Amino acid sequence: MTELPKEITALRGIILAITMILGSGLFGLPGLALDMGTPQEALAAWILISLAMIPLIAIFSDLGTRFTTAAGLSRYAEEAVGPWGSVAVVYLMIGSVAFGMPAMSNIAAAYIARLIGAPESATVVLSLAFIVTMVASNVFGVRATSAVNGIAFSTLAGLLLVVIVHNIAYLGVGLSAGAEIVRGNPSLSPRSIARLCALLFWAFLGWENLSYGLEEFQNPRRNIPIAFWGSFVAVTALYVLLALVTTGAALSGRAVGGASGMANLLPRNVGEKGLIAVMILVLLANGNAWVFSISRMLYAAGRDGILPAPLARLDRRGIPTTSLIWLLAVFAAVTVLSPLTGLSTGQLVILVSQNFVFLFAFAIVAYWRLNGGLKSRLVGVAAAATSALLLSDLSWSVLFPAALTATGYLASTRKKGPKEKTT
């Protein structure tokens, strides 16, 4: 088979997008936000960052409908700055996942070890097992990945429903706090809310990666916007409901701060073990979705001559198994070598965090170039302002994406002949 099969329906697209977004941050960020500001400020930040994401969703939905290709962000970057942009984005994404996915696997391994009572020395082995599970799920195709991710999302939604029902009184307190915010609470600190928005922005990263799966959508003009906006509504509803409950609990004197604060809202019969099990499932779904999207990016880059041609090979079912095997090898190598080189999980995350500033910039510029009129300009400016929140922790780590972008530019200039556009 030479083409990716079109097996993604609107519902599968929504589930895929949701599981690209939701991760361990869903459990940790509400409590961390309460540590950084007052309960009212944390709730205000959740509401504001949810609204601030609308322009970015509009941009990715617009570009995704225009360019239904597995090249995804690479194609957008080509539209923004020319052929070198597509090469730069491939390098940026490879640099991101090469370190980011092992970091996610290390986090999952820590939870697995805690769940089964394994020693800390087993972390690398458990991390490798998690990586193999993520890649293997994708080897079985889109339907298998969608099934696993659907189970994870259903389990997560069920757990959150239990949390909300069990703490329904706190939801009422949170709604009262929200009403006070809408009326204009003079005690709120704009500076504190801005810092909280920068923190909470991380909970909304992931929609950009859906772009690499758009070539496999059925009826793309209809289903792609549904996938983006449907997943946005679902994710935002989960975040805001959880924020209302945790805000109400904090205002009522419950200890819900910190990364594990939500555990204090669980019924005793669920407890810590139940929460950990769900978190592992959510991380697996999150990893599945990322492996899916990046394997399609490698396939498209091999097809377009950016990366070696073997990466564009599909098996008889239309699955890019060569790209999946390559990802497995890279993730496993980084997982094994990181402890030997002294790189911690936190350092792996820091190493790639600023990449998204560059990736969003390419998409925003492409949107500006393709859309005229005041409305489109305002959407682009609003999206740029939202993505600038990632710059709040700007440090030497920005050299990493800068170097990847420069490498992509130099690699592009050495190529012979113009690259054919994929539409």
Q: How confident is the model over 115-166, as pLDDT tens digits?
A: 888 887 888 999 999 999 989 988 887 777 778 888 888 888 887 888 888 8
In angstroms, how far is CA 317 from the centroid of its own chain? Answer: 27
The structure's pTM equals: 0.81
Beta bridge partners of 8: 217
Q: How many CB atoms lie within 10 A of CB 145?
A: 24
Alpha helices by DSSP H, listed for 37-141, are 39-52, 54-66, 73-81, 83-116, 123-139
| Distance, CA of 239 to CA of 256 (rounded, Å) | 15
User: 8 near 143, Cβ under 8 Å?
Assistant: no
pLDDT-derived band at 420 (thresholds 50, 70, 90) equals very low
Residue 92 CB partners (closer than 8 Å, separation 6+)? 355, 358, 359, 401, 404, 405, 408
pLDDT of residue 219 exceeding 90: yes
Among 94-98, 205-209, 228-232, 240-244, top mean pLDDT goes to: 228-232
- Amino acid 422: pLDDT: 47
Mean pLDDT of the chain: 85
pLDDT of residue 25 exceeding 70: no
Q: What percent of the chain has pLDDT over 70?
A: 91
Task: Calculate ∠ Cα 395-71-236, nearest 5°.
Answer: 60
- Amino acid 56: pLDDT: 93
Residue that wins the pLDDT comparison between 160 and 262: 160
Lowest mean pLDDT of 177-181, 322-326, 364-368, 418-422, name the range. Answer: 418-422
289-335 pLDDT, tens per residue? 889 889 999 999 999 889 999 999 998 888 999 999 999 999 999 99
Mean pLDDT of 337-343: 81
| Distance, CA of 40 to CA of 217 (rounded, Å) | 41
| Distance, CA of 45 to CA of 37 (rounded, Å) | 10
| Distance, CA of 290 to CA of 384 (rounded, Å) | 24
Question: If you write DSSP's letter for every residue of 289-352 in order, what string do you get?
Answer: HHHHHHHHHHHHHHHTTSS-GGGG---TTS--HHHHHHHHHHHHHHHHHHHHHT--HHHHHHHH
Whose CA is closest to 20, among 298, 321, 231?
A: 231
- Amino acid 155: pLDDT: 83
Integer CA distances (angstroms), 308 to 217, 302, 304, in order: 25, 5, 9
Q: Which domains does the chain have, with CATH numbers?
A: 10-413 (1.20.1740.10)
Q: How many CB atoms lie within 10 A of CB 136?
A: 14
pLDDT of residue 53 exceeding 60: yes
pLDDT of residue 94 exceeding 70: yes
pLDDT-derived band at 197 (thresholds 50, 70, 90) equals confident
| Distance, CA of 292 to CA of 142 (rounded, Å) | 8
Mean pLDDT of 83-87: 92
352-411 pLDDT, tens per residue? 767 888 888 999 999 999 998 888 889 999 999 888 776 655 567 678 888 999 999 998
pLDDT-derived band at 271 (thresholds 50, 70, 90) equals low
- Amino acid 346: pLDDT: 63
The type of residue at 145 is T
- Amino acid 259: pLDDT: 64
Among 53-57, 67-71, 278-282, 413-417, top mean pLDDT goes to: 53-57
pLDDT of residue 60 exceeding 90: yes
